[in-house]
Amino acid sequence: MNPIEQATIKDAEEILSLQKLAYVSEAEIYNDYTIHPLTQTLEESKQSFESSLVLKYVEDGNIIGSVRAFEKEGICYIGKLMVHPDHQNKGIGRRLMQEIESRFPGAVYELFTGSKSVKNISLYEKLGYKGFKQEKLPVEDTVFLYMRK
Closest by CA to 81, choosing from 70, 64, 96, is 96
7: left (phi over 0), alpha (psi -120 to 50) or beta: beta
Query: Using an 8 Å Cβ cutoff, are 112 and 127 in contact?
Result: no
Summarize pLDDT for 110-143 with one digit per residue, the tens. Answer: 999 999 999 999 999 999 999 999 998 776 778 8
Query: Using an 8 Å Cβ cutoff, are 59 and 84 in contact?
Result: no
Distance CA 110, CA 129 (A): 8
Checking if the pLDDT of 2 tops 90, the result is no
Domains and CATH numbers, the chain: 4-107 (3.40.630.30)
pLDDT at 146: 96
pLDDT at 6: 97
User: Kind of pairing, strands 130-136 and 75-83?
Assistant: unpaired
Summarize pLDDT for 3-62 with one digit per residue, the tens. Answer: 999 999 999 999 999 999 999 999 999 888 988 899 999 999 999 999 999 999 999 999
Distance CA 110, CA 148 (A): 4
* CA angle in degrees (0–180, nearest 5) for 89-82-47: 170
Closest by CA to 94, choosing from 63, 70, 64, 124, is 124
Give residue 74's identity as a one-letter amino acid code: G
- 87, with CB counted inside 10 A (0-12, 13-18, 19+), is middle
Mean pLDDT of 59-73: 97
Query: Using an 8 Å Cβ cutoff, are 81 and 67 in contact?
Result: yes
